[in-house]
Amino acid sequence: METLPYPPEPDTNWPVHLRQAYRKINDIYHTAAGYLASQSYDAHRLRFYILRIDQEVYPLLLTLQDAIPEHEIVLSGWLVQIAALLAELRNIMEETIEEHVDNEAGAEKNYWLPDVVTVEHTGRSGRPRKLVNEEVLRHALEQNISISKIARSLHMTRNTLKTRMSELGLESQRYSAIADHELDEIVSRFLKERPRAGRRYVMGHLKGEHNIRVPQRRVIASLSRVNKVGNELKKQETAQTLRPDYIVDRPHSLWHIDGHHKLITWGIVIHGIVDGYSRKVTGLRASTSNSSKVVAALFIDAIQAHGIPSRVRGDRGGENKDVSILMILLRGVKRGSFSWGKSTSNTRIERMWGNIGAFFARDWRAFFLRLERRHLLDRRNRSHIWLLHYLFLDQINDDCDTFVMTWNNHPIGGKGKDMTPNQIEFDGMLAHGIYQSPESRPGFNFDELKAYYEQLFGSDSDSDGSEFESDSDDDGIDSEYSEDDGNDSDSDLSSTDEQDSQQGDDSMMEDVNESSGPSDSETEDDATSSASPHLNYSLEEEARSSADANIANPPIHVRKSACPFDRNEMETFEHELQGRIARGKLPHGYGVRPSELGPRGYESSESIPLGRRGRTVTLELENEIWRPRAEEWCQALHVMDRMLNNM
């Protein structure tokens, strides 16, 4: 192939952008022509070069044509000449694909699939045995491929694979026994040769050159010790990830609703609602139940205070059922009144849990762990859980209220332009409009809404924590929720994400299954015509069917509590507790008296676990705040124990 002719020289030099465009076109042309001349006819490569000509070269030629003045006849002729050469090259590549590649489709394949798994029919009842090729399995284990990944590739369960490994005498490779200073020395030598290498290159070097296998967290720790500056630069480089902008048309166009389960081990769930446009918290409450009635009660209070949103976004947990039905009754069907989707995509509320955790939730978690460690709290004792709720649930809700007030009035940087959520809401209403408020809707009032809600779903009997929606055993709570994942988002706790990934984005809306993204593209007519002026009772059956079709799992079980006293005994308990608190008398044997605290006195910090790797984070618990709460717990537990022992 001949070289593309250079643009003819005019009276004055061409602008630099014209020369850059020529170089790019020429590079693409020669790369494609060179591959074609090599007679290595790979269909994927040829189609790739055709795609580059279509998507990169032709748009450049059209742009150059528009930029060339009409009197520059010579330059226009040059443009036509190179366009003809590129068209000829493209036609040759298409003919080559048809003649030399597609005609080989029926030829014998030049690859083979190894028989890794064979099925053995024993003639006995049950499924046939699956036998795994020992050589292939041994090679996979030598490559440090996890057992789970191998099992998925072989289309068998993990337990079956482990059974076959045991029969063959194989086991997954264990981590190498190497001290930190030895690891640091190897990493340091490698970084001198490859200063831009990150943790993955280091792990490859350790395995490939030294046959050393260590956990990724040890490699990260070693990099932070031997190359602090470079490691920090590397983190900043990898952190620059472009993400699509979150866009919502106006305030209360889309609310995000979710539950925070970091205190679920002690029978407490925090439910929250956030306006997507302004990031204003419209509802936040700690409860002793995760039922749909509790979530709906919070939602009703939120719309009474802030108005009815156009749409609500939540995950596929059963706790969102009542809210989804209410939204369809209030706003109508076939418009996405309640949007179902992955918890990980519920961005506004998931991000909010991080702020709530830092503000107060993690401190309460550390405090409850301290009560278990030092002050005889037994999370499996339902009376202890009841006492914990009796003493501290109102205080946690006070923290919720404080957070809402603080958050909604604090300036948000970046795209928030240092405006508070309240200010963003107000500014957005002025700029983009206000949804019709409940007071202005003819025939609608909150008494009607609450009365119909109670008729539809029954009274909220479980909001006091005395009874719960699940009768399953408590043991599953500790193993699943007692460990923190390192952040305060609850996306990892959702058991519904797997179903979402299988269903895809086409199932995100409750009835029309349109996209569940945050953009609210409704018109003003849609906002009013689709919403009945009052509760649309005729939609009840359709709303229920829609909710049942989208719920993947029942509400996550919350640990049960049980008050050990009847009404008269409760009065006695409260009287004795108040008397003991007034006297300031601390009980023996509960780890709170000065003689029991040790020489350092009451500890001002507490460590909580993060994730499942044994990591911990230390939180400061102010003595003036948390020591009186610990003393109150010990006094109340002592009174309860004494009364129960005397019964």
Per-residue pLDDT at 436: 63
CA 112, chain centre distance (Å) = 40
pTM: 0.57
Query: Do 44 and 23 meet the contact criterion of CB atoms below 8 Å apart?
Result: no
Scanning 346-445, the segments in alpha helix (DSSP H) are 347-356, 362-374, 382-408, 421-432
CA 21, chain centre distance (Å) = 43
Amino acid identity at 42: D
DSSP-assigned letter for residue 484? B
Helix (H) or strand (E) run with residue 264 in it: none
Query: CA separation (Å) from 468 to 290, 396, 462?
Result: 8, 20, 6
Cα angle 581, 586, 587 (rounded to 5 degrees) comes to 120
CATH class for the domain made up of 254-458: alpha beta
Burial class (CB in 10 A: 0-12, 13-18, 19+), 52: middle
Query: Do 388 and 378 meet the contact criterion of CB atoms below 8 Å apart?
Result: no
Pairing outcome for strands 269-275 and 281-287: antiparallel
Q: In the block, which residue shows the tokens 């240092």?
A: 418
Tokens for 444, please give them. 């609608």
Q: How many CA atoms lie within 13 A of 335 on its CB side?
A: 25
3-state secondary structure 293-341: HHHHHHHHHHHHHHCCCCEEEECCEHHHHHHHHHHHHHHCCCCCCEEEC
* Residue 254 phi, psi dihedral angles, 5° rounding: -145, 120
Cβ of 503: how many Cβ atoms within 10 Å?
A: 17
Cα angle 507, 509, 513 (rounded to 5 degrees) comes to 55
Q: How many CA atoms lie within 13 A of 162 on its CB side?
A: 7
Query: CA separation (Å) from 570 to 461, 552, 586?
Result: 20, 40, 21
Domain definitions of the chain by residue range: 11-99, 117-168, 180-237, 254-458, 567-645
Query: CA separation (Å) from 141 to 119, 144, 170?
Result: 22, 5, 9
The residues, any chain, with a CB within 8 Å of residue 447's CB and separated by 6 or more, are: none
- 411 pairs with which residues across the strands? none
- 606 pairs with which residues across the strands? 619
The tens digit of pLDDT for each residue in 286-338 reads 999 999 999 999 999 999 899 889 889 999 999 999 999 988 888 887 777 89
Q: In the block, which residue shows the tokens 């500890």?
A: 603
Burial class (CB in 10 A: 0-12, 13-18, 19+), 37: exposed
* Residue 115 phi, psi dihedral angles, 5° rounding: -85, 85
What's the average pLDDT block by block, 10 residues per block, for the chain (647 residues)? 51 63 83 77 77 88 78 75 86 82 45 66 79 79 73 83 85 82 87 67 73 84 82 61 70 93 95 94 96 93 90 92 89 82 83 88 94 94 96 95 86 77 83 65 58 57 35 40 50 43 36 35 37 55 83 86 94 94 92 86 84 79 89 96 91
Helix (H) or strand (E) run with residue 68 in it: none
Q: How many CA atoms lie within 13 A of 558 on its CB side?
A: 34
Cβ of 55: how many Cβ atoms within 10 Å?
A: 9
Per-residue pLDDT at 302: 94
